Amino acid sequence: MTYPYVLPRLPYAPAALEPNLNRATIMTHHDRIFAGHIDGLNRALQPYPALQRRPLSRLLLHPDCLPAPARPDILHHGSGVYSHALYFSSLAPARTGNPDAALAEALRCSFGSMEDFLRALRQASLQDTQEGCTWLLCDRCGRLRLLFTPGLQTALPLVPILCLDLHRHAYQLTCGDDREAYVNAALPLLNWEILSLRYATVSAGQPPFPNP
């Protein structure tokens, strides 16, 4: 992703994740929150042509190279763009799906079983009351780990396979303030086809973001 940033279309209809996440939740989250970060990042970068040519991950990885007046907005909105782009593409309408053989084996090696992974993902997402994100990350050897980051911090330079948004705007219109209900509702929506593709991309030595 590079400047000028454009709001990606939802990869599914706004009501496609119901009843797990309702249409109002998805529309508000995508069309207001995500779009706000897109607009904010474009505004912050507008006076800086040299920064406009840099990929998003480079902007986020090298904050000391950003001009001081624009640094807070670039980091805030840039992190929001990065995490939301991963989040929305990590979900799909609830269906019976599984990771491909390579990702399934990596999950088994890193967590014990699919059930153990989902249990660990729930625990990582609920152990902290702060808003933030839970990430499934991959190292260069193909090993997987989970990490919670508060606020809009990304997990960079670690390589993300999955981002689960734990800000209240991701679920409040469906689940109220019940984060546990949201996490339980979101797990059946994981898009294993995309997550498997990201893992395969990482295993081939390429970063999975921004493609897919």
Domain ranges (residues) in the chain: 23-89, 101-203
Cβ-based burial of 144 (10 A; exposed 0-12, middle 13-18, buried ≥19): buried
Q: Which CATH architecture has domain 101-203?
A: 3-Layer(bab) Sandwich (3.55)
DSSP 3-state assignment of 106?
A: helix
- Residue 14, phi then psi, degrees to nearest 5: -55, -30
pLDDT digits (tens, 9 = 90+) for 18-72: 999 999 999 999 999 999 999 999 999 999 999 999 999 999 999 999 999 999 9
DSSP E strands in 39-172: the ranges are 132-138, 144-150, 159-165
Nearest by Cα to 125 from 147, 110, 107: 147
Give residue-wise pLDDT tens across range 77-112: 999 999 999 999 999 998 768 999 999 999 999 999
CATH superfamily of 23-89: Fe,Mn superoxide dismutase (SOD) domain (1.10.287.990)
Residue 104: both structure tokens together: 């399934």
